[in-house]
């Protein structure tokens, strides 16, 4: 084995073990999306495809969880999915190494992999059952394919090239619905490569027609590959579109603005856009056909109904993207100190300058790479990032929408470290690694200290299991921890309402048996129902079974009495 391959393998093994050790902070289900992916994988293993498909969570990640779960049948399905994440992560690390080995010296390429493994935000996703784990792998694999293909004229002109691009786009789409926007990235890619091949001279009409033909061919193959799923979406929505999140996302953008980025506004948007309060469940469970929206508007109507408000939202989202979201990807939670009113760094612009310094370095070295004529990487990076930065700022910006750009950003930072000529560069690199280690330690402790917030709900489940027959029971709660551990296979979301009669009517209509009320979720996401946590609350339709408390967290189990 070559020495560089030995060290690469050693880094992957050692840091994969570190990631496995971090599983200890996720021993309890802490993410509602994880519940959905685990449910879907369960149904696929049962060969129950009618329940496997979902309209909100796309299916590719759950498919791999189910396959890996069959192979590792002797392991708890939750930990099996986490182990799959480890494999996906080291696969991504290897592809990242292959992407940049033609540009970086061996030791800097190994440094890149170390920083990749040490990134706190990537680590946080790697130990959580979320689709980003496979999304990043597919994206990096796509980048590697493009870099190799565009350097080989024989490969980027035949039909296999266009089919392969379409397959990558389809895989990204089957993982996350919004990936269809990167069809535009392919068009930009083809444009810039034609421009480069003509030495950046003006492209004539013949070449424009050639670009359009190639793009159309890729789009055609992409639509062919995803057509079965599009027909499925049409069967439950009666609309022809690449995603059926459209109306909900437009309403979310209006409700969330740029400050309210929590789930409260997401759920309010969902609640407003359903006709039938009885069937709120149909928004989150996939075997029921749901009703059409009360109001549904097009993207054009959304953007033009209030041009001033739309312009302000886009500009503010752009500022947020570059001054908060992207720096947070690199420096993790440090940015929160700038936005927290309790912090000594609140609105301290010297502090935010320090936090955004890595981003400034990235921008500078993008310029330097342009000067050094490293066009291939620049063209690919710009083609994807420009589309994402424009599209998402039309609505609302979340870190996870840009997470898969972080490996490329790390590449640019390491490229900078390789090329700068300063004394004590090794000391600078050591300090950078120690800083990342410190962030990992802080991340571990901050999450571990919150375990009790979730542990109290697991205790509630254990009591329910020991004292009640929950076979085939339906449990309603906002965050499905008790539901998951009861493994009822169905999630019944607490409605977004301030009317107790509506909630009871919804529960009665859907034959729900138990109701979980907890301080963790209700104080933030159901504030108008907080009275349900009161010790002296009484209602003929709700029988209080037991109250659980750990520190300041409280859970009350109710049984519906119909």
Q: Same domain, yes or no, for 426 and 367? A: yes
Tokens 């050693």 correspond to 10
Please name the residues in contact with 341: beta carbons below 8 A apart, sequence gap of 6 or more. Answer: none
In this predicted structure, which of 111-115, 281-285, 352-356 has the lowest mean pLDDT? 281-285
Which tokens belong to 462? 């254990």
Q: Tally the domains of the chain.
A: 2
In this predicted structure, which of 280-294, 315-329, 479-493, 520-534 has the lowest mean pLDDT? 280-294
At CA 538, angle to CA 532 and CA 539, rounded to 5? Answer: 95
SS3 (DSSP) at 559: strand
Which tokens belong to 442? 């802080």
SS3 (DSSP) at 514: strand
What distance, in Å, lies between the first and last C-alpha atoms of the chain?
70
Query: Is residue 168 within a helix (H) or strand (E), and if so which, with residue range?
Result: helix 159-175
Q: Are 37 and 65 in contact (CB under 8 A)?
A: yes
**Final residue before a domain boundary, out of 431, 448, 465:** 448
Task: Give CA torsion, residues 100, 101, 103, 109, to 10 deg.
Answer: 80
pLDDT at 288: 34
CA-to-CA distance for 449 and 97, rounded, in angstroms?
Answer: 35
The residue ranking higher by pLDDT, 555 or 45, is 555
Q: Same domain, yes or no, for 401 and 438? A: yes
69 in any annotated domain: yes
CA-to-CA distance for 330 and 324, rounded, in angstroms?
Answer: 10
pLDDT at 468: 84
In this predicted structure, which of 142-146, 200-204, 443-447 has the lowest mean pLDDT? 200-204
pLDDT tier at 236, thresholds 50, 70, 90: low
pLDDT at 271: 62
SS3 (DSSP) at 553: strand
257 in any annotated domain: no
Q: Same domain, yes or no, for 169 and 227? A: yes
CA-to-CA distance for 249 and 303, rounded, in angstroms?
Answer: 13
In this predicted structure, which of 34-38, 342-346, 505-509 has the lowest mean pLDDT? 342-346
pLDDT tier at 149, thresholds 50, 70, 90: confident
Domain that holds residue 177: 3-241+312-448
pLDDT at 308: 84
418 in any annotated domain: yes
Q: Same domain, yes or no, for 458 and 548? A: yes
CA-to-CA distance for 333 and 327, rounded, in angstroms?
Answer: 9
Q: Same domain, yes or no, for 59 and 207? A: yes
Q: Is the pLDDT of residue 492 over 70?
A: yes
Show the DSSP H helices in 341-474 as ranges.
349-355, 357-371, 375-392, 406-419, 425-448, 451-467
SS3 (DSSP) at 550: strand
Sheet holding 475-476, edge to edge: 475-476, 514-518, 553-560, 542-550
Single out the residue of 409, 425, 420, 422 nearest to residue 359, CA to CA.
Answer: 409
The residue ranking higher by pLDDT, 446 or 316, is 316
Q: Same domain, yes or no, for 427 and 395? A: yes
297 in any annotated domain: no
Q: Same domain, yes or no, for 140 and 125? A: yes
pLDDT tier at 178, thresholds 50, 70, 90: confident
Q: Is the pLDDT of residue 281 over 60?
A: no
Q: Same domain, yes or no, for 206 and 129? A: yes
- Using the CB atoms, write b or e for 56-70: b if 16+ within 10 Å: bbbbbbbbbbbebbe
pLDDT at 469: 81
pLDDT tier at 556, thresholds 50, 70, 90: very high
pLDDT at 421: 78
pLDDT tier at 398, thresholds 50, 70, 90: confident
Which tokens belong to 280? 């709120």
151 in any annotated domain: yes
pLDDT at 392: 87
In this predicted structure, which of 191-200, 221-230, 399-408, 452-461 has the lowest mean pLDDT? 191-200
**Final residue before a domain boundary, out of 448, 468, 493:** 448
Tokens 């030995």 correspond to 6
pLDDT at 229: 83
Question: Quick one: DSSP state of residue 349?
Answer: H
Q: Same domain, yes or no, for 132 and 8? A: yes
Average pLDDT over residues 145-170: 82
Average pLDDT over residues 363-380: 81
Q: Same domain, yes or no, for 230 and 360? A: yes
Which tokens belong to 183? 């069809």
pLDDT, one tens digit per residue, over 494-539 is 877 778 888 888 888 888 999 999 998 888 888 888 999 998 888 9
pLDDT at 185: 93
pLDDT, one tens digit per residue, over 295-339 is 456 667 777 777 888 888 888 888 888 878 888 888 776 666 666
What is the pLDDT of the chain when averaged over all its residues? 80
The total number of residues shown for the chain amounts to 562
246 in any annotated domain: no
pLDDT at 282: 40
Q: With a threshold of 0.85, does the pTM exceed it?
A: yes
Write out the DSSP string of 409-424.
HHHHHHHHHHH---TT
Q: Same domain, yes or no, for 417 and 459? A: no
Question: What is the dihedral sign for C-alpha 60, 63, 69, 71?
Answer: negative
How many percent of the chain have pLDDT more than 90? 21
Q: Residue 59 phi/psi, 5° resolution?
A: -100, -15
Average pLDDT over residues 66-90: 91
Contacts 24+ apart (CB under 8 A), 370-378: 374/103, 375/192, 375/196, 376/147, 376/150, 376/151, 377/103, 377/147, 377/411
Q: Is the pLDDT of residue 293 over 50?
A: no
**Final residue before a domain boundary, out of 426, 448, 470:** 448
Q: Is the pLDDT of residue 259 over 70?
A: no
pLDDT, one tens digit per residue, over 4-31 is 678 888 888 888 898 888 888 877 888 8
Beta bridge partners of 558: 515, 544
pLDDT at 261: 46
């Amino acid at each position: 084995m070559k020495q560089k391959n030995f060290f690469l393998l050693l880094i992957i093994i050692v840091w994969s073990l570190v990631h496995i050790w971090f599983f200890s902070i996720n021993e309890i289900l802490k993410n509602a999306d994880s519940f959905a992916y685990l449910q879907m994988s369960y149904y696929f293993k049962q060969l129950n495809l009618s329940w496997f498909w979902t309209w909100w969570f796309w299916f590719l990640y759950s498919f791999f969880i189910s396959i890996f779960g069959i192979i590792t049948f002797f392991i708890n399905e939750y930990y099996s999915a986490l182990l799959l994440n480890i494999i996906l992560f080291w696969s991504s690390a290897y592809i990242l190494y292959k992407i940049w080995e033609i540009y970086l010296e061996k030791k800097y390429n190994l440094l890149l992999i170390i920083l990749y493994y040490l990134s706190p935000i990537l680590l946080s996703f790697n130990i959580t059952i979320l689709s980003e784990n496979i999304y990043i792998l597919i994206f990096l694999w796509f980048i590697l394919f493009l870099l190799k293909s565009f350097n080989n004229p024989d490969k980027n002109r035949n039909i296999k090239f266009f089919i392969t691009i379409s397959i990558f786009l389809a895989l990204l789409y089957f993982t996350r619905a919004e990936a269809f926007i990167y069809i535009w990235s392919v068009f930009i890619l083809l444009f810039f490569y034609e421009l480069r091949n003509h030495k950046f001279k003006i492209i004539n009409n013949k070449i424009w027609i050639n670009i359009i033909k190639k793009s159309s061919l890729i789009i055609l193959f992409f639509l062919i590959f995803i057509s079965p799923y599009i027909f499925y979406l049409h069967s439950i929505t009666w609309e022809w579109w690449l995603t059926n999140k459209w109306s909900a996302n437009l309403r979310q953008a209006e409700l969330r603005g740029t400050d309210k980025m929590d789930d409260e506004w997401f759920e309010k948007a969902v609640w407003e856009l359903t006709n039938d309060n009885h069937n709120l469940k149909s928004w989150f469970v996939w075997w029921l056909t749901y009703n059409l929206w009360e109001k549904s508007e097009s993207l054009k109507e959304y953007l033009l109904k209030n041009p001033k408000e739309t312009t302000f939202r886009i500009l503010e989202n752009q500022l947020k993207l570059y001054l908060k979201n992207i720096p947070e990807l690199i420096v993790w939670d440090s940015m929160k100190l700038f936005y927290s009113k309790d912090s000594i760094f609140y609105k301290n612009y010297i502090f935010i300058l320090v936090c955004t310094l890595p981003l400034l370095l990235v921008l500078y070295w993008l310029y330097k790479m342009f000067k050094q004529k490293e066009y291939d990487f620049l063209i690919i990076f710009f083609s994807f990032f420009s589309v994402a930065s424009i599209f998402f700022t039309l609505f609302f910006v979340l870190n996870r929408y840009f997470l898969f750009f972080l490996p490329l950003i790390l590449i640019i930072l390491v490229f900078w470290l390789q090329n700068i000529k300063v004394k004590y560069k090794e000391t600078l690199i050591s300090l950078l690694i120690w800083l990342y280690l410190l962030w990992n330690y802080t991340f571990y402790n901050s999450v571990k200290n919150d375990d009790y917030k979730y542990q109290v709900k697991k205790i509630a489940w254990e009591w329910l299991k020991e004292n009640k027959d929950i076979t085939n029971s339906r449990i309603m709660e906002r965050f499905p921890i008790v539901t998951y551990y009861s493994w009822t296979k169905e999630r019944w979301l607490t409605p977004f309402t301030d009317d107790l009669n509506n909630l009871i009517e919804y529960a009665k209509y859907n034959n729900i048996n138990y109701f979980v009320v907890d301080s963790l979720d209700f104080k933030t996401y159901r504030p108008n129902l907080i009275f349900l946590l009161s010790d002296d609350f009484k209602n003929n339709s709700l029988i209080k079974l037991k109250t659980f408390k750990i520190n300041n967290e409280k859970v009350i189990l109710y049984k519906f009495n119909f």
